[in-house]
């Protein structure tokens, strides 16, 4: 059995679900544009530059989940899927996931974006396993805090190793292991798999892929 890992934002999706969730809430009047929009954009620029403080960002990004009921959030997310996410899923992305699934690979989405936003997206792709940043919840309501290790940079390695250990596997034991990603923030995990693949890469990852001879592909 082979191991195949997929980043989500700007890899399987032709866009960033975390950023777009904030924009969606602004458009629906749930969040105030003048206080949220600029900060959301600033964090996004820090992510692209590789300077993001993940804990500072999550304190900001998870706050809206804590302010609303599970029923409200579910209703908004269903609309978010229809209006924002489905248009970001290309036929090529669906075909890539299906190819690895049909081959019998052990597949997972590995994303820094929180599992509330991403679980329905992984389900839409038919990927059975999701490793995402977990928002803490108490008595069925989000607290605005993180549970466990954020699934970001080196945290992705830890989360993958913990997940595989729970299944009785080790990352190094797979004869073929792949990770598809667009971002230089994912270099730690890309360096750990046997077959890293740069997908519509950002400039920093494109340069690293060229230097190391990694394959580059597009899903757009």
Q: Is the pLDDT of residue 107 over 90?
A: yes
Model confidence band, residue 35 (pLDDT cutoffs 50, 70, 90) = confident
Per the structure, how many domains does the chain have?
Answer: 1
Give the residue-averaged pLDDT of 28-56.
88
Q: What is the DSSP letter of 184?
A: G
Q: What is the DSSP letter of 146?
A: E
Residues of the chain by 3-state class (helix, strand, coil), percent to 5: 55, 20, 25
Range with the poorest average pLDDT among 20-34, 75-89, 145-159, 170-184:
20-34
Residue ranges making up the domain that contains 86? 3-217
Give the residue-averaged pLDDT of 178-189.
98
Q: Could you confirm whether 7 is annotated as catalytic?
A: yes
Q: Could you confirm whether 200 is annotated as catalytic?
A: no
pLDDT score, position 44: 84
98: domain CATH number is 3.40.50.1000
Instruction: Choose the catalytic residue: 7, 18, 105, 182.
Output: 7
Model confidence band, residue 8 (pLDDT cutoffs 50, 70, 90) = very high
CB 3 within 8 A of CB 105: yes
Give the residue-averaged pLDDT of 132-145.
95
Q: Tell me the per-residue pLDDT of 69-99, one tens digit each, with 9 for 90 and over.
A: 999 999 999 999 999 999 999 999 999 999 9
């Amino acid at each position: 059995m082979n191991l195949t890992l997929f980043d989500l934002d700007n890899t399987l999706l032709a866009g960033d679900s975390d950023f777009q969730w904030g924009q969606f809430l602004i458009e629906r009047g749930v969040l105030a544009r003048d206080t949220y929009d600029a900060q959301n954009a600033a964090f996004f620029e820090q992510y692209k530059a590789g300077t993001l403080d993940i804990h500072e960002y999550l304190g900001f990004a998870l706050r809206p989940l804590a302010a609303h009921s599970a029923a409200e959030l579910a209703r908004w997310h269903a609309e978010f899927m229809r209006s924002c996410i489905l248009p970001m899923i290309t036929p090529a992305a669906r075909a890539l996931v299906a190819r690895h699934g049909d081959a019998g690979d052990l597949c997972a989405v590995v994303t820094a974006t929180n599992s509330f936003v991403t679980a329905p997206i992984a389900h839409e792709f038919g990927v059975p396993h999701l490793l995402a940043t977990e928002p803490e919840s108490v008595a069925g309501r989000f607290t605005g805090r993180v549970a466990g290790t954020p699934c970001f940079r080196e945290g992705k390695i830890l989360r993958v190793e913990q997940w595989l250990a729970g299944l009785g596997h080790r990352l190094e034991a797979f004869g073929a292991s792949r990770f598809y990603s667009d971002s230089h923030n994912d270099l730690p995990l890309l360096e750990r798999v046997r077959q890293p693949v740069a997908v519509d890469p950002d400039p920093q990852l494109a340069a690293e892929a060229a230097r190391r001879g990694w394959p580059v592909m597009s899903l757009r």
